[in-house]
Structure 1
Amino acid sequence: MQTQINLSAAFFRIGLFGFGGGPTMIPLVHKEVVDNYGWMNDDEFSNVLAIGNTLPGPIATKMAGYIGYKVGGVVGCVNAVIAMIIPVILVMIAGLGLLNEYRDKPWVAGMAHGVIPVVTWMMAKLTYDFLIKGHKALGAIAMAIGVAVSVGCIVVLNIHPGLVVGATILAVLVKPQKSEKSKTEPDNSMG
C-alpha cells in the first residue's frame, strides 16, 4: 500500500510541476524515481528514457506507465499514469480559463517567461549527467562521435529523434559483443 501511495505522490508532483510538457518532465521523473525513491538507478532510467523516446506518444506518460508497472504491477501502472495526468488536466482547465481572461496582462506573460530559465536549467543538468555517464561508459572519443552523429541526424538532416534512438538501439543489438572471457584472457593464438 505504501508503494502505491509513493507512486501517486511522486507522479502527482511530476504532473503538477512539469511545466513545458513531456520532455521537460524528464528531469523531474529522474529526481523522483532515481534520487528520491531509488526505484531505478541511472542506467535503468536511461534505458527507459531511450526506449520511451522510440515509441509513439507522450514520453512522460509512457515513463509513468512503465515505472509504475515495474514498481507496483498493473495497479502501479494505472496509479502512476492517473496521478501524472490529473494535475495536468486540472491545470489546463483552470489555467486556460484564467489565461483567456487575463491574457493581455503583463504579469501573465512574465509568468510564462519566468519558467523558461528553470526548465532550461533542468534540461541542461540532465544533458550534462547523460554526457558524464556516456563518457564513463564509452570514452571521450566514442561519446563525441555519438553526439556529433546524433546532432547531425537530428538537426542537419531533420531525422526524428525517436528514429535516431531506435537506430542506435538496433545497431548495438546487431553489433557482436566480446564475451567477458575474451576480454580478460590473453590471446594465445600466436604462440
Structure 2
Amino acid sequence: KYESLVVKRLERGLQLFMVPKVQAQIEDTALWERDLPDLLLALQATNSQISRLWELHMNSVSLQVLLRFFDDLRTDDKYCEVVLSEMEKMDTLLNSIYNRFKRLLYPFEHSRVDITIAEFALAKIPESNHPGELLGASEALFENLMALNHRILGRLCLLAEQVETLLGFEVLPEFEEADSDESKS
C-alpha cells in the first residue's frame, strides 16, 4: 500500500512538472526537460528487466555452489553436464539482458559522451566457456543495472519533490513496518 502511494505521488509530481506554470517556477527546468525523457526511457528499460536480472543473479549463485564441488566431481559426466547447462543458461540470459541496453544512452551527464547503458553496466562480454568471467560479468550486470534503476528513481523523486514543495503538498511520512505478532512474542 505504501509503495502504491509513493508511485502515485511520483507519477503525479512528474505529470504536474509538465504544466508550464509549474515549470516556470522550478529551478533548472531546461535541464529537467532535457533529461526527463532519457530518464523515463532508462527507467522503463531497467524496470522491464528486473525479474530477469534476479533470475541471472540466482543462476549465478547456483553456478557458484556447483563450482565448489569441481575438484571432487570434475570427472563425473553428469556433474559436468549440469555445470555446462547452467553456464549456457547464464550466458544466454546475460547476453539477452545486455543486448536490451546496447542502444540506450546512459542518462546521466557525468558520463563520457555517448556511453550506452550496456557499456556502463558491463565493460566486456565474457567468454561463454569461462565460468569465472561469466560469474563476474553476471554479478556486475546485476549490480550495475539495479544501482542504475535506483539512481534513476532517486533523480525522478527529486524532481517530483520540488514540484510537491512548490505546490505545498505534505511530505510523505517515512515508511515504518507494522509490528507483527511474531516480533512481539
TM-score, length basis structure 2: 0.27
Q: Name whichever structure is richer in helix by fraction.
A: 1
Give the structure, 1 or 2, with the largest relative contact order (CA under 8 Å, sep 6 or more): 2
Larger radius of gyration: 2
TM-score, length basis structure 1: 0.26
